[in-house]
Amino acid sequence: MSFSDVRPGDPINASNVQQVIDALKGTAGKGVPLSPTAVNNASSYALTVENLEATNSRALNVLKSDGSTLIKADATGVTLGSPITAPAASINGTALQNASVTNAKLASDTARLNLLTNGGFEIWQRGAGPFTGFGYTADRWQNNGQTGTSVSRDTTNQDNSNTCMAVTTTAASTLGAPSQILNPLNDLTRFKSLTFSFSVRLRTNVANAVRPFIYDGVTTTYGAYVAGDNAYHTASVTMTLAAGATVCQPGFNIEAAATTYVDNAMLVVGSQYADYAPLHPADDLARCLRYYELLGESQSGEIAFLGYGTTGTNGGQTLGFKARKALTPTVTKNGTWVVTNCGQPAVLATGLGAISTYVTVTATGAYNANNNAAGATVSLESNP
């Protein structure tokens, strides 16, 4: 029912006045909401409401049918009901109070610092596998040795990258897949009591088989299982480390016989997980070298001990590391090196940035030991 216009000279009937009263009172079935669309004035607002009471200045209160607030305007400001819908790109950042947007309010595509080493599973200095049993696989990713678990580098099923990790399990297990332990010496003391979010891209062919976790040495917190539809899904879990945490160990469990592909993992501080953001390849490799590196792998004969000696004397040299190690490393001379008039190279002492090595002369004359042989390298490994 709409209002009836009253023209000059028209008699004013009680029904006309009642029509206005009904509209103002909101009488059911009578009148219409105020809709002053015919206002034609460039300087005045179509509707202005002012409460002259100075303390509260309660000017406007618009309610939903259930009595909750749609719009309220008073001395405390403007309160709006939920949800607030605004046109795209219509809110200027200057409207926000400085330092008021928390990390949790930012979406997963916000770039965050990845605390993992080799989160993209791109670096496999120990080879492509398959790896079975307890030990390291892709750099920094440790397999716990569950029987029937095999881990390999995979270049066919990756998720928008060059490589991923393929894990096959042949039986149900409770701890069947790799995880990464942050260095308790250098890292954990700064991490205790912080909240971490771990996210990883997982693809598997069995439902309710694979889920992410974080373990802190006291408790394990799990994320949800990923679907078994053989498509990549982002799995995530958030955990606040206990004050007595001894490790910060994010990983993923594979709890059934399955084929699983793993790629692009992130561990960030805060309750919001982050989408994977790759490091520059140089930085990615540098992180890995802190824990494991090979010397002499790029060219046969790259490392050589040359000299002239008499039987029983020693010729030594210092081999510098590509990257300073997190801890004193285990040094492994791999393979049988080519030697003339001397024994195989041996280690004298190990440091964080270099090792002292030597050969012992076995026959007087020019001696030579070099790694010009298949698989002849030196590996350095310091694991947290």
Partner 1 sequence: MSVRPVYFNADGSVAVVYDELGHSGTIPAAEVFWLTNPTTGQDDHNYIVLDCPDGCGARSTHPVGGGADAPNVQEMFVRKVNLEGCACNVVVDTDPPPDAVAHVKDLVTAMDGAERWALDDTALLARLT
Binding site for partner 1 (CB under 8 A): 126-127, 131, 133-136, 184-185, 189, 314, 327-337, 344, 346-350, 358, 360, 375, 379, 381-384
In the bound state with partner 1, the residue whose beta carbon lies nearer, of 279 and 327, is 327
Q: Toward partner 1, which CB reaches closer, 198 or 321? A: 321
Considering beta carbons, is residue 118 or 272 the nearer one to partner 1?
118
Minimum separation from the CB atom of position 281 to partner 1 (A): 24
Question: Smallest distance from the beta carbon of 142 to partner 1, in angstroms?
Answer: 9
| Rounded (5°) CA angle 249-255-256 | 150
- The single-letter DSSP state of residue 284 is H
Name the residue type at position 97: Q
Structure tokens that stand for 321 in this block: 């590391």
Q: What is the distance between the alpha carbons of residues 297 and 46, in angstroms, rounded to a whole number? A: 80
**Minimal distance in Å, beta carbon 375 to partner 1?**
8
Q: How far is the CB of 151 from partner 1 (least distance, A)?
A: 12
- For the CA atoms of 5, 9, 15, 20, the dihedral, rounded to the nearest 10 degrees, stands at 50
C-alpha 9, offset from chain centre:
77
Q: How many CA atoms lie within 13 A of 161 on its CB side?
A: 25
Phi, psi (rounded to 5 degrees) for 287? -65, -40
- Cβ atoms within 10 Å of 181's Cβ, excluding its own: 19
Q: What is the smallest separation between the CB atom of 172 and partner 1, expressed in angstroms?
A: 24
**Closest CB to partner 1 among residues 102, 336:** 336
**Do strands 365-370 and 304-309 pair parallel, antiparallel, or not at all (unpaired)?**
antiparallel
Nearer to partner 1, 127 or 281 (CB): 127
Distance of closest approach, residue 221 Cβ to partner 1, in angstroms: 23
In the complex, least distance from residue 115 CB atom to partner 1, rounded to whole angstroms: 19
Cβ closer to partner 1: 304 or 346?
346
Q: Are strands 292-295 and 195-204 parallel, antiparallel or unpaired?
A: unpaired
Is residue 199 a contact partner of residue 265, using CB atoms and an 8 Å limit? yes
Cβ proximity to partner 1: between 302 and 381 the closer is: 381
CB 175 within 8 A of CB 202: no
Closest among 274, 262, 213 to 239, alpha carbons compared: 213
The DSSP secondary structure of 8-40, one letter per residue, reads: TTPPPPHHHHHHHHHHHHT-TTSS-----TT--
Residue closer to partner 1 by CB (options 227, 331) is 331
Q: How far is the CB of 234 from partner 1 (least distance, A)?
A: 31
